[in-house]
Amino acid sequence: MRIQVVNPNTTESMTALIAASARAVAGPGTVVDAVTPAMGPASIESHYDEALAVPGVLAAIAEGERSGADGHVLACFGDPGLDAARELATGPVVGIAEAAMHAATLVGRGFSVVTTLSRTRGRAHDLAARYVAAGACRGVHACDIPVLELETDPAARKRVVALARDALDRDGSDVVVLGCAGLAALVADVADELGVPVIDGVAAATLLVQSLITLGLRTSARGEYARPPAKRYTGLLGGFTTS
């Protein structure tokens, strides 16, 4: 099977990190195609970034469909464009926040999210309210390291571990969810230091899509996720016109 893993931001080094996390868990019969959108923000740290990431994500989903992808992962913790992507896809589409939060509820009673900028905490709470039962997400905490500095900041690892430890104590939680695709490389460090399940959404989403495909499950084309109605789009979005 072929799983397309879309990095919704346009930073190639993050796409490479995401690809490594996905390929580390994918089964022997699974090919992971990691892609960077042709347009969009260098990183996603605000509602504005998230909105402007969606056209590039949808173009990547459409291209993946044309090239035979059996399913898709949206590898940004805001799950940008998830529902619209499901309207374009035949196979399953899973966001990394969605997968990580669901996985967290299967291995603990309450989880804490550790993410990047404080301003994105509200989005994580909104997604938790959509994906999991009330009370499952006990708190969202930000290390306030910009997404693109996670790879270069020598203090990132230490700060993320300390924040996760503090989050577990303050929230009374027993699982940590890493709230950024760029944190995937720290999953083992945080788990070893804290001795609790730590979940990287890239790996969780890759295996969830792989499992759904193995089960023969595709996105339902009946009702809300049916293909969008034919529409003319103008200006910069002219290329999205559907017939």
Residue 142, phi then psi, degrees to nearest 5 = -115, 135
Q: Does 181 bind ligand 5HY (CB under 6 A)?
A: yes
Q: Does 10 bind ligand 5HY (CB under 6 A)?
A: no
Listed in sequence order, the residues at least 6 apart from 112 whose beta carbon sits closer than 8 Å to its beta carbon are 137, 138, 139, 140, 141, 164, 167, 168, 171, 173, 175, 176, 177
Q: Does 120 bind ligand 5HY (CB under 6 A)?
A: yes
The binder of ligand 5HY chosen from 40, 56, 78, 92 (CB under 6 A): 78
Applying CB under 6 A, the span of 24-32, 179-187, 215-223, 228-236 interacting with ligand 5HY comes to 179-187
Instruction: Tell me the helix, strand and coil percentages in the chain, rounded to 5.
Output: 50, 15, 35
Task: Measure the CA–CA gap between 82 and 86, rounded to whole angstroms.
Answer: 6
Q: Does 115 bind ligand 5HY (CB under 6 A)?
A: yes
Task: Measure the CA–CA gap between 195 and 137, rounded to whole angstroms.
Answer: 19
Q: Does 44 bind ligand 5HY (CB under 6 A)?
A: yes
Instruction: Report 47-76 residues binding ligand 5HY (CB under 6 A).
Output: 76
Applying CB under 6 A, the span of 23-31, 155-163, 167-175, 178-186 interacting with ligand 5HY comes to 178-186
Residues that bind ligand 5HY (CB under 6 A): 9, 43-45, 76-78, 115-117, 120, 147, 180-182
